[in-house]
Amino acid sequence: MKFFKNLVVSSLILGLTSSLSFAEEKFVPISDGVKSVDITLDGEKFTIMRNQTAGNKISSLYDTTDRGTPQPMILAPGVETVGELEFIEYMKKAQTDTNIAIVDSRKPGWFARLRIPGAVNVPFTNFDDKDDAIDMMEDYMGISVKDDGSIDFSKAKTVVLYCNGYWCEQTPGMVKDAKFALLKIGYPAEKIKYYRGGMQAWTSLGFTVVGDDAPAAK
């Protein structure tokens, strides 16, 4: 009888231990079974993960809903719209593929305050002037200028663009609306990827951010 009592107690202890271990292993996932992704990009080493703090709140920069008109899901024919998981996949690929650029299209002040790590800043405002647009594309997007002054897009990079959120007009402006927008001057549509959710979606999911307004590391 004593043997069976000990067996029951042992089983209960084992069950409790297993439950505790399971609880300790629980986390806020990126995808099934994935807690974090280590990335080195644009000279930065960082870990992409979702905030693990219970009750974490979205950044006050993006916690209001009275913003502009939502942008269409399909920005332009041939331009692919991506979500967070696809965006992270492009970040991972960009570590070894120099033909991929992760681009923040917002103004420098917003970029400095809060941004997705590893992104380069190519402000949409540069695409209202042809020379500024060409300079940006030469520096970050792989284009060159031929002797006759025309733009060579043969080595154009795949650019993965984001701005403030679903309603933000900055990436759409850079892609199709500015005076010298990418599509207007001949940038290949299939090499433009649009992360429509932008910073609002990224911060709403608690993903890693950097910048002056980023939460202090604990």
Domain residue ranges in the chain? 36-204
pTM over 0.75: yes
CA distance linking residue 44 with residue 118, whole number of Å: 6
Beta pairing class for 100-104 and 158-162: parallel
pLDDT tens for residues 108-140? 999 999 999 999 999 999 999 999 999 999 999
36-204 to CATH, choices 3.90.1150.10, 3.40.250.10, 3.40.50.1820, 3.40.630.30: 3.40.250.10
pLDDT at 15: 45
Question: What is the pLDDT confidence band of residue 91, given thresholds at 50, 70 and 90?
Answer: very high
pLDDT at 92: 98
pLDDT at 43: 86
With 70 as the cut, is the pLDDT of residue 204 above it? yes
pLDDT at 217: 60
